[in-house]
Amino acid sequence: MTANSLFTRLRDACAEDWEAYVAHPFIRGIQDGTLPEACFRHYLIQDYLFLIHFGRAYALAAYKADTLQDIRAAAENLRVITDVEMGLHVEFCREWGLSEDEMQSAPEAEENMAYTRYVLERGMAGDVLDLHVALAPCMCGYADIGRRLSEDPATVWEDNPYRAWIDMYASDDYQDGTAHALVAMDRLYERRAGENRMPDLIRTFGQATRLEIGFWQMGMNAAT
């Protein structure tokens, strides 16, 4: 990402919230392997439910798009989530003793509902750029976290039960996918926005980032 990319500008405008998100105690527990397993299992179940709504958001992005290029990009993101990422998530969760039936029947946490409905609301009330900005903290945040943990000498690798999770988000595939999404968001900004839209986009990005913090805290609260 470049210094002038839309994501960089949004992240820098919400720097305090962003740091609280990517360096949350939940993430520090993943980094050193001390996160209680009950917290991680609860997170995995809610993340499965979250991904369903993430897929809905990209379906909405296709509907909101006004060029074939953007429709195809949204359709590809939807395909990756439903056909690839969901499958990988189910396989990963199976290793943690969680079946897909169990996750499908789990109640949706309030923090999950607040976040996913906010994203969908921004897409319904605004345009496709508003929707992509609301989605950005999720994909970009996980990429930032994966990169940070993989490069940080303080990360514990040996006997860390969360190593596979770190490797997944630090992988070239995930990092490259995020980079392509950021290019698409810059393209939307060039076509649909000017500087007068930045305050609203910053508010959307900041709120979505705070809801991500709440998602981590939801996982932490499972230990209490």
Q: What is the pTM of this model?
A: 0.93
What is the full per-residue pLDDT of the chain (224 aa) written as tens digits?
A: 566 899 999 999 999 999 999 999 999 999 999 999 999 999 999 999 999 999 999 999 999 998 898 898 888 888 888 887 888 899 999 999 999 999 999 999 999 999 999 999 999 999 999 999 999 999 999 999 999 999 999 999 999 999 999 999 999 988 988 888 898 899 999 988 888 999 999 999 999 999 999 999 999 999 76
Of the candidates 90, 111, 108, the one whose C-alpha atom is nearest the C-alpha of residue 99 is 90
Given 39, 93, 111, 212, which residue is catalytic? 212
In this prediction, residue 79 carries a pLDDT of: 86
Given 138, 140, 190, 195, which residue is catalytic? 138
- Cβ-contact 112, 46 below 8 angstroms: yes
Of the candidates 124, 150, 161, 73, the one whose C-alpha atom is nearest the C-alpha of residue 81 is 73
What CA dihedral angle connects 29, 31, 34 and 37, to 10 degrees? 70
Domain residue ranges in the chain = 6-221
What residue has token string 């009950």? 38
- Cβ-contact 115, 214 below 8 angstroms: yes
Active site residue 212: yes
Active site residue 37: no
In this prediction, residue 34 carries a pLDDT of: 97
The dotted CATH code for 6-221 is 1.20.910.10
pLDDT tens sequence across 108-143: 999 999 999 999 999 999 999 999 999 999 999 999
Radius of gyration in angstroms for the set of CA atoms belonging to the chain, rounded to a whole number: 17
- Cβ-contact 131, 61 below 8 angstroms: yes
In this prediction, residue 197 carries a pLDDT of: 93
- Cβ-contact 107, 118 below 8 angstroms: no
